[in-house]
């Protein structure tokens, strides 16, 4: 018998989702090790920095748990997530990142370690998301982006061939069905690692791949911007 699944293109807009987000996506054993390493990476990167902006920051878990004396800021388009994240010592902004972050200034470290970018209307909007967060990285600053591991989601070398030529996979579109809430999140968009690099990499002098030990096959990219 088919299950009647509840579709939700914008799960982050409900208070219930925001309140239970950490228990679903951050604290479970299968991802907590990876989140702890992300926090260690952030603390190391922030040692020589003064400002940090976490984009699509959600409930603010990384901002709240990273030990650092830098000025911390977070941006998200969900009122419900930001209400959950709020604390006096962190500045939060409600913005649609795809539309630009021009009024937020520049930051020594900009991070995006969640999958907030997957809930966009198109691949073009996903790439605009990355261009937007890259635009607020200061000279000599760093950009840290979490992404799906291409070796798990995509064919080897990202290319497959037929009789007439080569096919390059730039992104995947997928539905996610969550058992405990009977909710279907449709048409999530994840770009290949190489497409993220093609989109923002030209503004950086060094690009490093970071492997994370999560069962979800998540990795990260660290972009180091030119100049001081």
Q: What is the pLDDT of residues 134-192, one digit of tens each?
A: 999 999 999 999 998 756 667 666 677 777 898 888 898 988 888 877 888 899 999 99
CA distance 125 to 184: 21
Q: What tokens appear for 186 in the block?
A: 């449709």
Q: Which residue from 179, 171, 173, 50 is spatially nearest to 109, judged by alpha carbons?
A: 50
pTM summary value: 0.90
Q: What is the pLDDT of residues 38-88, one digit of tens each?
A: 999 999 999 999 999 999 999 999 999 999 999 999 999 999 999 999 999
Q: Which residue from 116, 203, 192, 197 is spatially nearest to 153, judged by alpha carbons?
A: 192
């Amino acid at each position: 018998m088919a299950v009647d699944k509840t579709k939700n293109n914008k799960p982050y807009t409900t208070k219930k989702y925001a309140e239970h987000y950490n228990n679903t996506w951050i604290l479970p054993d299968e991802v907590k090790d990876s989140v702890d390493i992300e926090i260690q990476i952030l603390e190391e990167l922030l040692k020589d920095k003064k400002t940090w902006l976490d984009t699509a920051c959600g409930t603010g878990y990384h901002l709240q748990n990273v030990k650092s004396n830098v000025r911390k800021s977070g941006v998200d388009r969900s009122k419900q997530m930001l209400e959950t994240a709020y604390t006096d010592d962190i500045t939060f902004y409600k913005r649609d990142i795809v539309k630009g972050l021009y009024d937020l200034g520049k930051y020594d470290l900009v991070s995006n370690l969640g999958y907030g970018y997957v809930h966009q209307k198109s691949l073009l909007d996903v790439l605009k998301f990355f261009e937007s967060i890259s635009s607020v990285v200061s000279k000599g600053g760093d950009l840290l982006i979490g992404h799906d591991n291409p070796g798990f989601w995509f064919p080897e070398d990202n290319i497959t061939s037929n009789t007439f030529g080569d096919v390059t996979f730039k992104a995947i579109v997928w539905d996610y069905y969550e058992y405990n809430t009977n909710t279907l999140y449709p048409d999530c968009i994840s770009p290949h690692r190489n497409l993220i690099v093609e989109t923002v990499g030209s503004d950086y002098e060094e690009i490093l791949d970071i492997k994370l030990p999560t069962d979800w096959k998540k990795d990260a990219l660290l972009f180091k911007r030119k100049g001081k």
